[in-house]
Amino acid sequence: MSNEQKTNNQISIEEGTYEAQCVGYKKFKQSGKINKLVLEWDFTLSGMEGVVLPQFYNLNYKTFKNPTKYCTAWVLANKNRFPVRRKLGYMSPKIFMNIVGKVTVIHSKPRFLNGKEKPEVFKEPVVSEIIEVSVFNNYNG
């Protein structure tokens, strides 16, 4: 089975670890109240031309007492340095732009509103986490 296959006009890759580059980000509100961030990862470096997958973060925190998923990724992108203060205002998503690193891809498990898992056809690949960063950007976080 190849790493890349098209099904139902969607690009699908196998779960695993890949080299990718962050090419964009966008903040948005889910359901009108939950602050979210989506990073866009390009997998051209892994030999998959045109494959761009999302990675989602919950930004409904004002301070980060324990390292959350976002805080952990931000520190990795900031050359393993914590911000001056662990507050969202000091942790801009600009830090992720153009970084290159190893990321983990999983297949999402979307659910219906009643909590029941949707059928296999609705599963899509998403970036789960950043494992390591090999090329940093010049932004000082």
Query: Which sequence spans correspond to the domains of the chain?
Result: 17-135
What is the identity of the amino acid at 32?
A: G
Residue 120 has pLDDT above 80, yes or no: yes
pLDDT over threshold 90, residue 60: no
Confidence at 30, pLDDT banded by 50, 70, 90: confident
Burial class (CB in 10 A: 0-12, 13-18, 19+), 73: buried
Q: In the chain, count of helices (H) and strands (E)?
A: 1, 7
pLDDT attached to residue 140? 64
Rounded to 5 degrees, φ, ψ at 68 are -80, 175
Q: What is the pLDDT of residue 38?
A: 97
Bridging pattern class, strands 52-58 and 125-135: unpaired
Q: Give the Cα separation of 33 and 71 in Å (integer).
A: 20
pLDDT at 67 over 90: no
What is the pTM for the complete model shown?
Answer: 0.85
User: Phi and psi for 33 in degrees, rounded to 5?
Assistant: -140, -20
- For residue 2, what pLDDT band results from cuts at 50, 70 and 90? very low
Q: Is the pLDDT of residue 1 over 90?
A: no
Per-position DSSP letters for 6-18, written without gaps between them: EETTEEEE-SEEE
- 93: amino acid identity, one letter: P
Q: How confident is the model at residue 109 (pLDDT cuts 50, 70, 90)?
A: confident
